[in-house]
Structure 1
Amino acid sequence: MLGDVDPAGLGVCDAHDHLFLRSPRLPGEELDDPAAAETVLRDFAAAGGAAFVQWTPHGMGRGAHALADLSRATGVHVVAATGLHQAVHYEPAALTALHDGLAERFTTELTAGLPGAPAGVRAGLIKVAGDYHGLDDHTRRVMRAAAEAHRATGAPIAVHHELGTAAPDVLDLLCGRYGVPPHRVILGHLNRLPDLRLHRQLAASGAYLALDGPSRAHHATDHHLFDTVAALVEAGHAPQLLLGADTTTRSARHAPGPAHLLTSLAPRLGREFGAELPAQLLKDNPARAFGVEWAA
């Protein structure tokens, strides 16, 4: 939010989270308080965090007006997203208007600036979403626009997978049909579907896998995290793993958040897999995953 950053200087990163978010599916659970967002970032920084990647896309209250000031006040790099979520997260009338000129909108937000933000404050990634065990027409339209914006800007594409499903469909569409290199795609929420064989197959494509969700007590996230990490590390995919907290509701602010990645999960990962792995997952891998890479 404060300008380009050398990937080597990104630092310890929460690779998938939210400071601001609203959805008609989550009435009364809006993340819309700048003071609360500042507390989250300060706690994260006190635990050693340096970068925070917000996956909230266009039209979902991403707080573009406040993110730069929060980054400046806390010293944490904040990366914002363009893109669109599933259709159910938008009012129908608003969605009809959003469908016009998607690729151009995404590209503009990555290159010129975000509506409502200070001049020159730009997005750094494209957020899209699959559906439960499939892709609908809205999803396919958004992913086509995301692929076009990726080719125009070099920005990575981050994908929400509903309960961890439809990742093969997403890769077939983005990479197979639209030619996005797999290593420019970040597959989120896969640990909500603890299918280790599928995880290994997806990692073999070259895509990044975001294991995100300590704030999700009702999902298979932390419960299977270490088995998932073990299976992927043993298969040689440690360089493709990312960690995030993915706090999406006001209620979840009371659950373990971004600081938990560093105060609890990282030490446990170090004890289980060796001291090098936490730094790889929290620092080295995000620097590659979120770097801008222009197409040849």
Structure 2
Amino acid sequence: MGKIVNTVLGPVPSGDLGVTLTNEALLSVLPGAQYAYDITLDRAAVFETLATKLRAFKQSGGEGVVDVTGQFAGRDLRLYEALSRATGVHLIASTGQGPEGMLGGYFLTPQTNPPTPWPAEKWADLFGAEVTDGMVVPRVERRGHAGVIATAVTAEGATPTDVELLRGSARAALATGVPVTFVAGADAVAELAVITQEDLSASRVAVSSPGSSAAKLAEQGAYVVLTETSEAVALAEAGHADRILLATGGAGQAFGHEVPEAAYDHLISAVRADLPGELADQILITNPATLLAVKED
């Protein structure tokens, strides 16, 4: 089969992915929002909403979507499996957590003496197991293998726990061969350095919300996730076409917080309209396939 990508329905050859969006949130749920008295999370309605979006994406030439919500921000594996079967779109799910402010108390003050946040090695074990053994469906089972490790850094600046999350994500990526994607905080270049200090190549990392550091990150070999085609053109003109990924910057459906609504088909249309064909294919097909392919030892 050659190089493969882990989808929710099993491995597929990376060359079969086609047009793929690598940093999306299909279902974005603020942790705990599903239990709020004023929020109704109707899975059948969610399915119909997302299926409509994915079918439109498919009609626009789309083939794959990577969900980077990680373990507790909306990931629903059974829903994703059903959506993939119904729409024909490859869906790649992620493991991971972060930033610190979104972690549960179990991870910040575990029953240790003295209570201390989780270190990198524990994060690496947790994330790595969801790649090799399957992602956890709470209180039920493991099913499907994560295709990406996703984390995030506190916007105001990396905390010690954020640093451990980055290190743990890098170690899990090294052990399993899947890539890391992270939402940058105040210093994307320094945050990337935390990962590469763990001996993970920058070419196995995608950085979203890079701010003014996009070119520097690309120069170091990392992929840069952008939300505007004009930014993609500028970075390509600077010689970094092979480091660009594009994302909607929104969510297919969100609960508990305000998130822009994602229109996956509109992004494809915008890319095709605004970018030369060769560059569009590089960003939409070649770069995602290269990043997502599980790296063999």
State which drifts further: 37-46 or 246-255: 246-255
Larger relative CO (CA 8 A, sep 6+): 1 or 2?
2
1:205 aligned partner, one-letter code: Q
Distance 1:118 1:75 in 2: 25
Q: How many positions carry a matched residue from both structures?
A: 271
Q: What's the counterpart of residue 219 of structure 1? A: none
1:288 aligned partner, one-letter code: T
Unmatched 5+ stretches in structure 1: 213-221
Distance 1:46 1:120 in 2: 29
Which of 145, 153, 156 is the equivalent residue of 1:130? 153
- Structure with greater helix share of residues: 1
Query: What is the root-mean-square deviation of aligned Cα atoms in Å?
Result: 2.6
Unmatched 5+ stretches in structure 2: 1-7, 111-116
After superposition, the C-alpha distances for 1:128-149 in whole angstroms (9 at most, x for unaligned) are: 1122252101111111211211
Name the SS for the 1:61 alignment partner: coil
Distance 2:99 2:259 in 1: 23
Q: How does 1:255-266 map to 2 (within 5 A)?
A: 255=261, 257-266=263-272
After superposition, the C-alpha distances for 1:255-285 in whole angstroms (9 at most, x for unaligned) are: 451111112232122xxxx221111110111
1:59 matched to 2:72? The reply is: yes
TM normalised by structure 2 equals: 0.82
| Shift of residue 61, structure 1, vs aligned partner | 2.5
Q: How does 1:34-45 map to 2 (within 5 A)?
A: 34-45=47-58
| Shift of residue 93, structure 1, vs aligned partner | 4.6
1:210 matched to 2:225? The reply is: yes
Q: What's the counterpart of residue 89 of structure 1? A: 102
| Shift of residue 234, structure 1, vs aligned partner | 1.7
1:83 aligned partner, one-letter code: G
- Structure with greater strand share of residues: 2
Which of 242, 247, 251 is the equivalent residue of 2:245? 242
1:294 matched to 2:296? The reply is: yes
Name the SS for the 1:242 alignment partner: strand
Which of 168, 172, 176 is the equivalent residue of 1:145? 168
Distance 1:290 1:244 in 2: 15
Q: Indicate the percent of aligned positions where both proteins have the same amino acid.
A: 29
2:291 aligned partner, one-letter code: A
2:191 aligned partner, one-letter code: V
